[in-house]
Amino acid sequence: MAIYLDYAASVPISAEVLATFTEALQTVGNPSSTHSLGQGSRMMLEDAREQIALAVGCDRSEVIFTAGGTESDNLAIKGLFWKRRGENPARNVIVSTYMEHHAVIDPIEWLEAHEGAEVAWIGVSDEGVIELAALESFLAARGSEVALITMMWANNEVGVINDIKAVTALAVKHGIPVHSDAIAAFGHVPIDFKSSGLSALSISAHKVAGPVGVGALILSRAETLTPLVHGGGQERSMRSGTMNAPGAKAFAHAASLAVANMSKHNSHTRALVERLREGIESTISGARFSRGSASAMTHNAHFTFEGLKSDGLLFLLDQADIAVSAGSACQAGVDRPSHVLLAMGRSEDEANSCLRITVGLQTTEAEIERFLQVLPTAVAAARSANPT
């Protein structure tokens, strides 16, 4: 039986959510149809919207359902940039950090290449914490040129939690909307959209034990954006396309459970990660806990191992039926040096030697012990496969 320690990549759908989802899939009717069946689907969708609003502390009208986290990020970044720059051509700068997920970095770089946007990447500390002083001085100098700031709530690779309120406090002085990718953070840290000062926030269902292919962009009612998808004008005309009511319902159920179980989840995973850290640091030399003492999500243990490349280590662990990752999952199945570690000032060799272990409510102590038993041998073999 395989040991799954890659919860940050995707959390297995829970039995309860699966039951909700499969039942909902049998519903007849398009939520936009005016007949009674259609109204039934619409009710399912709106109930889900309300539950999501409760889970993230926003108005129900602020929830825009999407087909996943990447779409939410693209909609927020391109949509807000186009809207803002359209209103004021002087605002052509996007501010972010290189700690972001590619779902954020790539749309920004696309806007830079195709739309003439200017990008300011704010530095992070060696523990992965945003350099707020650098952000503050950049905004003091060029705040009036900034169209948008986007900074993730918590990092998906190393687990560091950012001080989003501090970011929005700086942005508000210059009238800049702030988007936050909270896809990794949702379900792990309390999120209250209203008090966050954010204009937009992205979340995704499969990171909280919901189905893949469902997400949401929380967009402040005070904010509008230029839509990416045009059609029937659904979702406040921000995201056209027939609404996925069953997906939304399953997402809402999963989100509610994640929020309700957050403290139980966090104390369970904190204990497992403490054991992991202690076990690894006491048995393997040259292992470095990536985020140091930075504030972080409890379920994430990210290490670099001197003298090896992740692909060899992942191969050996997979052969031992242990599923872990080097960072975020990637299209071609090739592990590239982690851009997050590079942003934290680590060398390319270090950024090629990552191991991310992420656990969940279902992870058992026995699984962690089994992993700790296998790891030292695997690290030794991976090191011998990487002669210097």
Partner 1 sequence: MKVLAAMSGGVDSAVAAARAVEAGHEVVGVHLALSRMPGTLRTGSRGCCTIEDSMDAQRAANILGIPYYVWDFSEKFKEEVVDDFIAEYEAGRTPNPCMRCNERIKFAALLEKALALGFDAVCTGHYATILTGDDGELELHRSNAYAKDQSYVLGVLTTKELKHAYFPIGASASKDDIRAEASARGLAVANKPDSYDICFIPEGDTQDWLADKLGEKEGEIVDRSGNVLGQHSGAHGFTIGQRKGLNIGRPAADGKPRFVLEIRPKTNQVVVGSHAALAVTELAGSRFTWCGSEPKDATTWFEADVQVRAHADAVPCMAAVVDGEIVMKLRDPLMGVAPGQTAVLYVGTRVLGQATIDRTVSALSVEAETIGA
Q: Least distance to partner 1 from the beta carbon of 163, Å?
A: 35
Q: Least distance to partner 1 from the beta carbon of 308, Å?
A: 11
- How far apart, in whole angstroms, are the C-alpha atoms of residue 303 and residue 326? 9
- How far apart, in whole angstroms, are the C-alpha atoms of residue 213 and residue 344? 31
- How far apart, in whole angstroms, are the C-alpha atoms of residue 70 and residue 110? 14
Which C-beta is closer to partner 1: that of 222 or that of 332?
332
Q: What is the DSSP string of 36-48?
A: HHHHHHHHHHHHH
Binding segment for partner 1 (CB under 8 A), chosen from 76-84, 187-195, 247-255, 306-314, is 306-314
Pairing state between β 118-122 and 300-305: unpaired
Which C-beta is closer to partner 1: that of 276 or that of 316?
316
CA distances (Å), origin 63, targets 50, 145, 182, 288, 359 = 8, 28, 14, 40, 28
Q: Least distance to partner 1 from the beta carbon of 306, Å?
A: 16
Which C-beta is closer to partner 1: that of 26 or that of 331?
331
330 is catalytic: yes
CA distances (Å), origin 206, targets 156, 252, 258, 306, 364 = 14, 11, 11, 33, 21
Q: Considering just the CA atoms, what is the radius of gyration of the chain in Å?
A: 21
| Of residues 309-348, those binding partner 1 (CB under 8 A) | 309, 311-312, 314-316, 318-319, 331-336
Q: Least distance to partner 1 from the beta carbon of 329, Å?
A: 12
Interface with partner 1, residue 388, by CB under 8 A = no
Which C-beta is closer to partner 1: that of 166 or that of 381?
381
Q: Least distance to partner 1 from the beta carbon of 387, Å?
A: 7
Q: With CA atoms as reference, report the closest residue to 310 among 259, 348, 269.
A: 348
Which C-beta is closer to partner 1: that of 289 or that of 315?
315
Q: With CA atoms as reference, report the closest residue to 181 among 102, 94, 63.
A: 102
Binding segment for partner 1 (CB under 8 A), chosen from 9-17, 99-107, 134-142, 304-312, is 304-312
Which C-beta is closer to partner 1: that of 4 or that of 186?
4
Binding segment for partner 1 (CB under 8 A), chosen from 189-197, 217-225, 249-257, 377-385, is 377-385
Interaction mask 234-273, partner 1, x per CB under 8 A? ----------------------------------------
Rounded to 5°, the CA angle 160-182-359 comes to 55
Q: Least distance to partner 1 from the beta carbon of 350, Å?
A: 15
From the candidates 19, 172, 330, 380, which is the catalytic residue?
330
Q: What is the dihedral of CA 251, 68, 202, 33, to 10 degrees?
A: -70
Q: Which residues bind partner 1 (CB under 8 A)?
A: 309, 311-312, 314-316, 318-319, 331-336, 381-382, 384-387
Which residues are the active-site residues?
Answer: 330
